[in-house]
Chains A and B, each alone.
Chain A
């Protein structure tokens, strides 16, 4: 019942041995890159001495900012002629975080996703309607290649255009959908408005990813769609979807442990925490030629479930993501940092520097609502000018964060000042 019997049911000791073999290789490759050779050189780290899981604690963490600083190829181990694909993290422009893949890396990623899908019960007879974004974002293409590897027919419909999604469902009878939970909530309503019973569509499984959601919402979505829902975890820095995936037991996401070494740390001190304790997930990619990333701080909060899973896989599981150890917010699957919004607001003279970000869910879709204060000295007394300014801010933010915000002008002095620890983000979404 496994896609790769040998790897997926490998005894723990053998997995750990395999991880160390791959870690050594990854470290040697990493040490040849401009970024890691400098970091390890300065810290006096000899990577050949890192041979155990415990030794890894001597290695500095890699952060999203380190990836930005080494933009575009500072962590790449091979000439770009050896790479076949790149992806970039969503929600950032300018110096985004770019990940490169060799042909082998793409194949390995496909295998990783195929394996995960197989353990949810997917087979080559299944048809996947992939409603995740295609493009620089890893969500769409990641699942796409995995499903093809498994032999499924893939409908690469990408996100949005609900009526066409429904038409495709009626005409091609997908058995699996890959979708963000918020879009799934919206789409099911549109289906019902069309007078169609969602249960009649023949969809059996749903893979939900790209944004955090609650167990209650999972149950609700399972009922609304008449499907079994499986949680899917991934981040572009670690390939994309498939890093961890639920099996048919629906009891936590199995990490692909032959690809990654997972650690849980205290986000404040950086100290490693024992299995079972909640903390920040740190991942080392030990199976990517083009770009091995060492001890990457995901900022995602979870815990490792040490007990073995009923499905028989020996790869350990992580719990659903509880939250973030930084201030990143996810809006409709897109990563947004309040600092990006702040940078735009700071550069518009007609508004002050204080702001509030309010996240809401309307008709199943995430809305971002930003309150800014008018700067009294530049107030022109003209409603038309205000509407023009409003549009200008909306356009500038949309270009940066992809999602379209609603801007609300406030009277000067009505928002708490930016000094100190003013709460800036109010998440009113119920999911």
Chain B
């Protein structure tokens, strides 16, 4: 099961650079980044090559950071690619709490990363439908 590092940040200049500086200093690579904003504050979500280590580095510098379990699947980078996965989730009444995606140009593929309440069930459903689930290391190798 892959992990995402979630970091609390005030909505102020310099808050991202503080996080990226720590990761860079510890030679941790960022695969994807997204920010959910809630006015005064937000959560920075990071896909890292070494999520557990990245999380520890951030915490040790006093940052509110945590590891979150996520689901990551490979989809075709073509029209309807995401829809196929989404409709499986929909027909099984699985609510996606938070999601983002990115494409892998050379392979004509894309990755869909999301949070759900019941991860094992979601993974099973998608696996049965023929989707390729990604682990932490696989995510980084893309």
Known contacts A374-B64, A379-B64: A411-B8 contact under CB 8 Å:
yes
Interface assignment of A409: CB less than 8 Å from any CB of chain B: yes
B55-74 vs A, CB cutoff 8 Å, 1 = contact: the mask equals 00001001111111000000
* CB atoms of A376 and B38 under 8 A apart: no
Interface assignment of B10: CB less than 8 Å from any CB of chain A: yes
Q: Which of A384-401 touch B at CB < 8 Å? A: 384, 386-387
* CB atoms of A413 and B62 under 8 A apart: yes
- Contact residue among A380, A383, A384 (Cβ-Cβ distance under 8 Å from B42): A383
Interface assignment of A381: CB less than 8 Å from any CB of chain B: yes
Smallest CB gap from A410: residue in B: B10
Size range of the interface on B? 20 to 34
Q: Which of B42-94 touch A at CB < 8 Å? A: 42-43, 59, 62-68
- Contact residue among B10, B38, B40, B68 (Cβ-Cβ distance under 8 Å from A381): B68
Interface assignment of A197: CB less than 8 Å from any CB of chain B: no
Cβ–Cβ < 8 Å partners of A384 in chain B: 97
The interface centre, meaning the residue of A379, A380, A410, A412 with most chain B CB atoms within 10 A of its CB, is A379
* CB atoms of A387 and B6 under 8 A apart: no
* CB atoms of A381 and B41 under 8 A apart: no
A11-33 vs B, CB cutoff 8 Å, 1 = contact: the mask equals 00000000000000000000000
* CB atoms of A409 and B6 under 8 A apart: no
With both chains docked as a complex, state the minimum distance between the C-beta of B46 and any C-beta of chain A, in angstroms.
11
Tell me the bound Cα distance from A381 to B69 in angstroms. Answer: 11
* CB atoms of B63 and A412 under 8 A apart: yes
Interface assignment of A382: CB less than 8 Å from any CB of chain B: yes
Smallest CB gap from B37: residue in A: A383
Tell me the bound Cα distance from A386 to B8 in angstroms. Answer: 10
Tell me the bound Cα distance from A387 to B43 in angstroms. Answer: 12
Interface assignment of B20: CB less than 8 Å from any CB of chain A: no
* CB atoms of A376 and B40 under 8 A apart: no
Interface assignment of B9: CB less than 8 Å from any CB of chain A: yes
Known contacts A387-B38, A409-B40, A412-B62: A382-B6 contact under CB 8 Å:
yes
- Contact residue among A383, A387, A412 (Cβ-Cβ distance under 8 Å from B64): A412
With both chains docked as a complex, state the minimum distance between the C-beta of A95 and any C-beta of chain B, in angstroms.
35
Cβ–Cβ < 8 Å partners of B40 in chain A: 408-409
Interface assignment of B36: CB less than 8 Å from any CB of chain A: yes
* CB atoms of A376 and B41 under 8 A apart: no
Interface assignment of A414: CB less than 8 Å from any CB of chain B: yes
Tell me the bound Cα distance from A409 to B64 in angstroms. Answer: 11
Cβ–Cβ < 8 Å partners of B15 in chain A: 411
Tell me the bound Cα distance from A412 to B41 in angstroms. Answer: 13
- Contact residue among A376, A383, A408, A410 (Cβ-Cβ distance under 8 Å from B43): A383
* CB atoms of B43 and A381 under 8 A apart: yes
The interface centre, meaning the residue of A375, A381, A384, A409 with most chain B CB atoms within 10 A of its CB, is A381
* CB atoms of B41 and A409 under 8 A apart: yes
Smallest CB gap from B59: residue in A: A376
With both chains docked as a complex, state the minimum distance between the C-beta of A221 and any C-beta of chain B, in angstroms.
33
Smallest CB gap from A350: residue in B: B64
* CB atoms of B66 and A386 under 8 A apart: no
Cβ–Cβ < 8 Å partners of A379 in chain B: 6, 8, 64-66
Known contacts A409-B41, A411-B9: A376-B63 contact under CB 8 Å:
yes
Q: Which of A186-232 touch B at CB < 8 Å? A: none
* CB atoms of B10 and A414 under 8 A apart: yes
Tell me the bound Cα distance from A387 to B36 in angstroms. Answer: 12
With both chains docked as a complex, state the minimum distance between the C-beta of A376 and any C-beta of chain B, in angstroms.
4
Cβ–Cβ < 8 Å partners of A375 in chain B: 64
Tell me the bound Cα distance from A382 to B65 in angstroms. Answer: 11
Cβ–Cβ < 8 Å partners of A413 in chain B: 62
* CB atoms of A408 and B41 under 8 A apart: yes
With both chains docked as a complex, state the minimum distance between the C-beta of A196 and any C-beta of chain B, in angstroms.
35
Smallest CB gap from B7: residue in A: A381
Tell me the bound Cα distance from A411 to B63 in angstroms. Answer: 7
Known contacts A374-B8, A408-B41, A411-B8: A383-B68 contact under CB 8 Å:
no
The interface centre, meaning the residue of A374, A380, A383, A413 with most chain B CB atoms within 10 A of its CB, is A383
Tell me the bound Cα distance from A386 to B6 in angstroms. Answer: 13
- Contact residue among B36, B64, B97 (Cβ-Cβ distance under 8 Å from A376): B64
Q: Which 7 A-B pairs have the closest CB atoms?
A: A381-B6, A379-B64, A381-B66, A376-B64, A413-B62, A374-B64, A381-B68
5 A-B residue contacts at CB 8 Å?
A380-B66, A381-B66, A386-B38, A409-B8, A411-B10
Measuring CB to CB, which residues of chain A are less than 8 angstroms from any residue of chain B? 374-376, 379-384, 386-387, 408-414
Apart from A381-B8, A386-B41, list 7 A-B contacts with CB within 8 A.
A375-B64, A379-B65, A382-B6, A383-B42, A410-B10, A411-B10, A412-B62
